[in-house]
Structure 1
Amino acid sequence: MRLKTAALLVLLGLLTMLAGIGQLTFWAPAETVTASVPSDTKAAPLTVIDQKLIALHDGPVKIKIQGEGNFIVATGRPDDVEAWVGKTAHNTLTGVSADQKSLEVSSADGEATAPSPAGSDLWVSTEDASGDLDYTWNPPADGEWSLLVAGDGTQPAPSAISMTFPNNATTPWAVPLIVLGIIIILVGAALPFVAKALANRRKDDDDDHPGDGGETTTLPIQSENPLLPGAKSSGTTSPVGDEGRRRGAGSEGPALRVTALAATLAAVMVGGTAIAAHATTATPEATPTSSSADAAEGGTPVMLESQLQRILEQVASTVDAADAAKDAAKLAPRVDKMELQIRTQNYKIRSTVSAYEPRMPVRATKLQSSVISTKRDWPRTVFALTQGEGNVVPQVLTLVQLSPRENYKLWGSAPLQPGTNFPSFPVPRKGTEPVPASDSTGLAYSGNQALEILSEMLTNPESPNRSKLADGQSSPYIAGALAYQADTVKNGTSANFKFTHTPVTNQTVVLRTADGGAVVVGRLDFAFEGTPKAAGDKLLLEDDSAVFAGGKETTTGMVLNFAESVAVYIPPAGSADPMNLVAATRGLVGASFK
């Protein structure tokens, strides 16, 4: 009987261990699950793959897209994708069905067409395809991301989309079953030897205490149920002797109890694997990342540094082509506002006056500093400090994006003042806090106040606010402008001159620096007026001004107009340091006779 019990335990152990091994091999769940868009999904010009779906499973996601003709898959922040889609009709892939075979789709009605999303600055990366695309998604950086699938914006976006995710199903009972099986096998193998040793020990005890040579003590047998009050014992006795011990020694009860216990435990654990497998294959829910909270608070930078580098290269290429051709129309895709006006007028002058100095070239490299705003609504602004071929000193470039479907354009460029260091800003991956131009919270002055003080100093060398802004050798531009104006008055004895520098408030941008201060970048309009003192007195214009005025002489007076691009560092509140003009330049944009 002991051998049968041992064999049963070994068999049970083998089955238990096999169940554990099976969960790791032939019963193991599939490594991936694939879900597809239902075939009856309504056609739309745009398809969005929501960030919650992308983040549903850990690990890379494989996406298979089948469509007709050319299409694009663009990667962007969820709010950027949403802003670009706007009011256009679109489908959004939001999740996976309970059986993990279908992708859940929500449809939104709207405009029937959209521009092509190709070439948008909002996208961190794009994949171009024709017909079929097998695409492996990996996040380009921390945070949340969505995908936009579209053709040319006029035709339906591909809707035959399937996504393959890593399977989150696990086999938590596999190892415990294997271990339990081994233990049961060992118990079964040891049982005959243990039972034999116990039997030998009882035999030795019997030899040491013979039953016919001593007194036998009898004990009363307890009834099966406890005695009720007043009940009497039957007085029947049962001897405890050799025969009773032999019956106990020959019983298989303990072995059977071990077998039953092992079988029950194995059955519970094997049965539990089914429950565990069901629980671990349920569709997981995407958990929000820390960046989602940042995005809600406007704390996520509006672009990655790699995006900025790509944008700068396109801006530099556009400006180079326009400069070479002296064709302002070529600037339109990437240049606007003050920079567009200055370069357009520069081309006009150079077409007539060959010796006139061209505007400083715009270079994408070397990128010395990236200042990326965290203001996620529009317009958006970034600064870049670059120095490349043709740049004697680094120059500050101001790039602005007015709306989601427009690209960044160069609004201004200004060379760094000699001997001046560009302020330190938070690292690009954290972004820089924007400050309203009228807000002085945490600053010695607001952005508007800083430009007012600068314009006042440039207009009046005896300004009472002169101590608030470093000048002289600390600011060569201010010193040079004041010297130019003084020399003009000194040499123009037959005319009266007036100089005014006025901030253009709708082109002012302020971004906070790492030390709690800020840099304000903006435009000043510099007007230079001259009026003859007496009848017959004449004013002579230079060749560059004559291009706009239509002549070189006037007896009635003239006005020259310049656009000044400036960047001023504002110290934090409580600092005893004056403001500092970081970068500045000007360009002639007009001239006229009175």
Structure 2
Amino acid sequence: MPRSAVRPRSRAGVCLATVAAAAVLLAGCTAEPPAPVPEAPVVAAVVSEAQERKILASVAAVVVEHDEASAAEGLRARMTGPALAMRQAELRLAGATGDERWRTDLSAQTQQVVLPSDQGWPRTSYAIQAQPDTRVAPALMVLDQRSAREQYRLWGYVSLVPGASLPPFAESELGSAAVTPDDGTSLVRSPAQALADYAEVLSEDAAAANAGAFDDDRLRQTMRDVEASQTGVPGWRTTEGTYSFAARVEPDLGLRAVRTADGGALVLGGLTSTQTVALGQEGAEIETDALPAAQKVLLGDQEPADRLRTRYRDFVALYVPAAGSERKITLVGFRHIPIDVSSG
């Protein structure tokens, strides 16, 4: 699998200005010196790169220690939110199917870190993994610290899309500011709206009202391929079958957004999606033996029926350009994990 291109980061300058006080003698009176102009605040990361790498090493150690489904509860020590839910689903599928491709490599070797500049809490940092293997896409990891007394925990992660270019970020020592979910002024659309619109586009593809605002991407192509594999089988038309796929934002998962050096934002958030295959012909049954291994495992011993519903947990990373840009919103990474299958 080709390496993901990461563009060089830009260097932002910091300017400090001071004004010296001066005394002026006028008509025998001494004028009050002007108040000093306060120095411009120095923009700097609130976590050093060395500290970040120690945090990542600690998280990775917990991931390695609890790398089986039976030990997944131990991940709570250093994982939370979408990352915890996805990892538990990955471990279940990897163990049940014997397919290690379900288990994302979350090793701590990184090629770049994006550190927070915001002084308060919660704080969020990002790490772009060094390529673990030429056949495996590197991961983009999101870490949260909810308060000063809590440890950083892995909140979410995606596999970077092969060939996708990440946006540039400020130098790590300067840090990068968080972007609020409703910031629709500095961006072509707010992070929350971009995520909601992407869920719509993922569901309806080219027919979606906002499809033109997004570049085509690997996840959408995957969904088209899956639909073709379901509806392209011999005899599909005679079964009077229907196929649907619908994604929606999972508000309980929240989202994270960070400013990029070009004024845009990297936005990460969770979705849930549902794929439904239904046969309209009386007496027709879906051939469960032909299902992918993951769906078979999740279906278990349920009886075959004329309907099969598969739920997925999705986590996506979108680049949202700055306001006024003619660039489209781009998917730079995702994770798409089946979590439940039901028949009937």
The structure that is helix-richer by fraction is 1
> What secondary structure is seen at the aligned counterpart in 2 of 1:327?
helix
Write out per-residue CA displacement over residues 360-407 of structure 1, whole angstroms, 9 at most, x where no aligned residue.
211211x22221222333322111101243472322101112233221
Residue 582 (structure 1) aligns with: 332
Aligned partner of 1:565 among 305, 312, 315 = 315
Q: Write the letter of the residue equivalent to 2:338.
A: L
8 Å CA contact retained: 1:361, 1:390: no
Post-superposition CA distance 1:501-545 (Å, at most 9, x none): 112234211111001111101112121122331332212244422
Q: 1:381 touches 1:400 (CA, 8 Å); kept in 2?
A: yes
1:352/1:433 CA distance change after superposition, 3 Å = closer
Q: Is the 8 A contact 1:455 1:524 kept in 2?
A: yes
Question: 2:117 corresponds to which residue?
Answer: 374
Equivalence for 1:359: 103
Amino acid at match of 1:412: G
The 5 A counterparts of 1:300-315 are 300-315=44-59
**Structure 1 stretches (4+) deviating beyond 6 angstroms?**
none
Aligned 1:401-440 pairs, distance under 5 A: 401-440=145-184
Question: Among 477, 480, 483, which residue is 2:225 paired with?
Answer: 483
What TM-score do the two structures reach when normalised by structure 2? 0.78
Question: Which TM-score applies when normalising by structure 1?
Answer: 0.47
SS in 2 for 1:318: helix
Distance 1:565 1:341 in 2: 11
Distance 1:325 1:480, change over 3 A: closer
**1:312 alignment partner, SS class:** helix
Q: Of the candidates 544, 550, 565, which is equivalent to residue 294 of structure 2?
A: 544
The alignment covers a number of residue pairs equal to: 297
* Residue number among 244, 248, 255 corresponding to 1:498 in the alignment: 244
In structure 2, what is the equivalent of residue 470 of structure 1?
215
Corresponding residue SS for 1:502: strand
Q: Mark the CA change 1:559 to 1:327 in structure 2 (over 3 Å): closer, same or farther.
A: same
| Native 8 Å contact 1:546 1:552 kept in 2 | no
Shift in Å, 1:468: 1.0
> What residue in structure 2 maps to residue 334 of structure 1?
78
Q: 1:324 to 1:437 in 2, by over 3 A?
A: same
Q: Distance in 2 between matches of 1:390 and 1:358?
A: 15
Pairwise CA RMSD: 2.4
CA distance in 1, matches of 2:308, 2:118: 43
CA displacement, residues 310-343 of structure 1 (integer Å, 9 cap, x when unaligned): 0111111221222267621231211122222222
- Aligned CA distance change for structure 1 residues 542 and 418 (closer, same or farther; 3 Å): closer
Counterpart CA distance in 2 for 1:290 and 1:590 is 57
Q: 1:355 to 1:429 in 2, by over 3 A?
A: closer
In the TM superposition, residue 356 of structure 1 has moved relative to its aligned partner by: 5.8
Would you say the 8 A contact 1:439–1:447 is kept in 2? yes
Following the alignment from structure 2 to structure 1, what is the Cα–Cα distance between the partners of residues 39 and 264?
27
Aligned-partner SS, 1:357 = helix
- Given that 2:280 and 2:306 are in contact with CA atoms closer than 8 Å, whether structure 1 keeps it comes out as no
**Equivalents in 1 of 2:132, 2:218: separation in Å?**
23
Alignment-mate amino acid for residue 272 of structure 2: D
Question: Larger radius of gyration, structure 1 or 2?
Answer: 1
- Kindly indicate whether the alpha-carbon contact (under 8 Å) linking 2:213 and 2:329 is maintained by their aligned counterparts in 1: yes
CA deviations 1:30-72 (Å, max 9, x no partner) are xxxxxxxxxxxxxxxxxxxxxxxxxxxxxxxxxxxxxxxxxxx
- The whole-number CA distance in structure 1 between the counterparts of 2:155 and 2:343 is 29
Alignment equivalent of 2:269, drawn from 499, 511, 522: 522
| Unaligned stretches of 5+ residues in structure 1 | 1-288
Q: CA deviation at 1:570?
A: 0.9
Higher relative contact order (CA 8 A, sep 6+): 2
Equivalent-residue separation in structure 1 for 2:113 and 2:91 (angstroms): 29
Alignment partner of 1:555 is 2:282? no
- The one-letter code matched in structure 2 to 1:514 is A
Aligned partners of 2:302 and 2:342 also within 8 Å: no
Give the unaligned 5+ runs of structure 2.
1-37
Q: Within 2, Cα distance between the matches of 1:529 and 1:325?
A: 27
